[in-house]
Amino acid sequence: MRLPQGRARLCLASLLLVLMVGVVLVPAAEASGSGYWYVVQPGDSWSSISAATGVPVSTLQAWNPAAVRPPHYWLMIGEWLWIPTAAPPPPRCDYWYTVRSGDSWTKISRWSGVSVAALQAANPGLVRPPHYWLYVGDRLWIPCGGGGWHPGGYWYTVVRGDSWYAISRRTGVSVAALQAANPGKVRPPKYWLYIGDRLWIPDP
């Protein structure tokens, strides 16, 4: 039986679409045994990819730091994400932080729990007297245990633009660990944080 020309074209287009989706879902590169590559599609988000793959958002972002773009955390169509099938390595205690608009030594000290003196000692090239300004794009090394760090963790006050994922990325503490340490601040379904909230940041 021969299909009408219009219907045949529709069937062919549907078949091609299925094949294209299949190509996207199949690892786009040779899997290393611990994960595979995925190409971001229109409508994708960290949450939707997490739901589709079963990998937590925090784990996806830990493996794909170049694709983490605060404050909106949008993904770009066509970019490649590594989908791990094994747990990520534990976060390092020390980490790099990129200075954002409105940052200062005091502000970074407050949310990191590291004293200004310890921050400046770890970043002598960014100490600029007499005003000690930091410039957007500066990269600061945040050392562990410097001055303001309390045994077991420290308190952090939420500021504008913060989210569980942004704080997790800056501190090296997983979203799950942050929420477990602050159950009173976990507010489903949106999980918003409010300016002025005080969070306990446990040591990684």
Domain ranges of the chain: 5-84, 95-202
- Helices and strands, counts by H and E, the chain: 7, 6
Residue 97 has pLDDT above 60, yes or no: yes
- In angstroms, the CA 22 to CA 16 distance is 10
The larger pLDDT score, comparing residue 48 to residue 97, is at 48
Over residues 14-22, mean pLDDT: 42
Q: Same fold for the domain at 5-84 and the one at 95-202?
A: yes
Model confidence at 135, pLDDT cuts 50, 70, 90, reads very high
What is the b/e burial string over 124-157, where b = at least 16 CB atoms within 10 angstroms of the residue's CB?
Answer: eebeeeeeeebeeebebebbbebebbeeebbebe
What CATH architecture is 5-84?
Roll (3.10)
CATH superfamily for 95-202 is LysM domain (3.10.350.10)
The pLDDT of residue 4 is: 55
Task: Give the Å distances, CA to CA, from 168 to 61, 66, 173.
Answer: 10, 15, 5
Which pLDDT belongs to residue 145? 56
Residue 200's DSSP bridge partners are 155
